[in-house]
Structure 1
Amino acid sequence: MNMKIWFITGASRGLGCEIARAALESGDQVVATARKPEQAEVELAGQAGGRLLTLKLDVTNQASIDAAVDAASKRFGRIDVLVNNAGYGQLGAFEQQSLADIDRQFATNVFGVFAVTRAVLPLMRAQRSGLVFTVSSTGGLAGAEGGSVYCATKHALEGWSESLRIELAQFGIKTTLIEPGFFRTDFLDPSSVFYGDIAISDYANYSAGVRDYLDQMNHQQAGDPAKLGKALVTLAASDDPPVRFAASSDAYDILIDRAERNRAEADQWRELSMSTAVAE
């Protein structure tokens, strides 16, 4: 079967929209879901030629997820590629994040991904095929200052997706983590990013510096969302997509640096590590 059915969350703008656009341009059919699906319709309908279905979906609402997956199944009969893209950044120093903000970040970035994937997997198991893309981040590879909570959610997705890949291999289903660096989207816009609101004087200068740096980077990022969309189409056509895909040169550098630092640190402490084994 050449034509694939894509199911994409957070497809009204940014990376999700460009992934949907690239899939449509390749001749595939797309279910573009978002909290505001009318935005996806405006962005994508002109090139769809009847191959687009836009649906309302809130990843924190189980009824919304079930309704969208059911509508997609009734329209297309299958889902070949799931793209877990919906998410946002909760930034700032850890101590400045309220528990409510942390709960909300995990509800969207982690448990929302879990819920959508759980709803789609029965279809893929029945097909004995499928590919689950999960948009992580370089923040899932390495910690970043001012991003402790956000990075925690992405690290969670890393371990989950890699483990899921092993569990699902028996059904012909693959998983790939997409690890973007900085892409030119509205991720850092006030409509997308949130900062901790607990005022702590010790962090005042630090937090102001982090926020100023990110504000200056906004819409100056090096990554091209359209090119990332095309890259995912290429990955979806592969018989053996990678466990993780570093998207953009900065992500590649972080991935390699993390691997080298892990090896160097492990070698530095090897003797102590070996000493903890039970003596034979």
Structure 2
Amino acid sequence: MAGKVWFITGVSGGFGRVLAEEAARNGDKVIGTVRQAGQLMEFNRISEGNTFAYLMDVTNPEGVKATVEAAFNHFGRLDVLVNNAGFGFLGAVEEASIKDFREVMETNFFGVLQVTQAILPYMRRQGSGHIIQMSSVAGFRSTQGFGVYNASKFALEGMSEALAQEVAPLGIKVTIVEPGPFRTNFAGTSIKSAQLEMPEYDATARVFKNNILGYAGQQEGDPQKAAQVILQVVDAENPPLRLPLGNTAFSAVRNKLQQVAQDLENWEHLAAKTSFDS
């Protein structure tokens, strides 16, 4: 079903760019946000009359509100929000500074929250809308050396799961997308690392970091195929709350569920008996 108006953050590359291209090819209108003025015309030219670039930083609350308002005033509706802007961070929890944690949370969580809160009043008045939260399999299960990024995506998923329950009666849908490794610039220009490297974490956090940086450009996931799946989810009558993408993501989610189930089975006989005796 063509004719939707999309609002996608972070369309200079990666999933945001590919998804914008696929939605425009589908005949939809796509509002894409970028952080550099030099990227505006380039995005507008992707599909003239269908792609519209706006300058916006998700960490600037006033700018977010003004951009969403301008987009709605121009198009008259906002059907799909894709919170895509974000970046990765490598390093053990002890190696990362509090400043590192705050910077990642500011973009990956608070930035998403600000855009979501800015767009919700328009979707509520429409009585419709679909919010796509670009999380990660790292938002469902943690990995050594990825704790800062895990924290930001776990926060995003916790907020979004509650949001889905709150807005369902209002006609608004929420889907949390959890990609595994895909061939985007995530493991290249979109990732940062802790300045401190402690030898105590060479066998854990450092191994993970080297693996991530080592397979940049060789990941199994095809972003275009993922974008096409997301388009189908947006068109679905009953879309999923969570959408892992790729074989690695599905395996990781299943392994986490099995681990949780095992912990429940092993400790229920003690931990469940903590209520007051009736």
TM above 0.5: yes
Residues 17-73 of structure 1: per-residue CA shift (max 9 Å, x gap): 011111111111100112136436425624x24011100110101122122112211
Aligned partner of 1:125 in structure 2 is: 124
For the residues of structure 1 that align with 2:207 and 2:249, how far apart are their CA atoms? 23
Aligned partner of 1:30 in structure 2 is: 30
Do the aligned partners of 1:81 and 1:131 also contact (CA within 8 Å) in 2? yes
Deviates more, 1:244-253 or 1:1-10: 1-10
Do the aligned partners of 2:43 and 2:53 also contact (CA within 8 Å) in 1? no
Matches within 5 A, 1:147-186: 147-186=146-185
Aligned with 1:95: secondary structure? coil
Aligned partner of 1:211 in structure 2 is: 209
Matches within 5 A, 1:189-204: 189=188, 191-204=189-202
Gaps of 5+ in 2: none
RMSD of the alignment, in Å? 1.6
Matches within 5 A, 1:8-27: 8-27=8-27
Aligned partner of 2:264 in structure 1 is: 266
Do the aligned partners of 1:11 and 1:40 also contact (CA within 8 Å) in 2? no
Q: What is the TM-score normalised by the length of structure 1?
A: 0.94
Do the aligned partners of 1:4 and 1:28 also contact (CA within 8 Å) in 2? yes
Do the aligned partners of 2:144 and 2:205 also contact (CA within 8 Å) in 1? no
Aligned partner of 1:146 in structure 2 is: 145
For the residues of structure 2 that align with 1:67 and 1:188, how far apart are their CA atoms? 32
* Percent pairwise identity: 37
- The answer to whether residue 60 in structure 2 is matched with residue 61 in structure 1 is yes
Deviation, 1:205, is 6.0
Question: Aligned residues, how many?
Answer: 278
Aligned partner of 1:98 in structure 2 is: 97
Q: What is the TM-score normalised by the length of structure 2?
A: 0.95
- The answer to whether residue 265 in structure 2 is matched with residue 255 in structure 1 is no
Gaps of 5+ in 1: none
Aligned partner of 2:133 in structure 1 is: 134
Q: Give the aligned residue type for 2:27.
A: G
Q: Give the aligned residue type for 1:12.
A: S
Runs of 4+ with >4 A deviation: 204-208
For the residues of structure 1 that align with 2:266 and 2:99, how far apart are their CA atoms? 40
For the residues of structure 2 that align with 1:264 and 1:239, how far apart are their CA atoms? 34
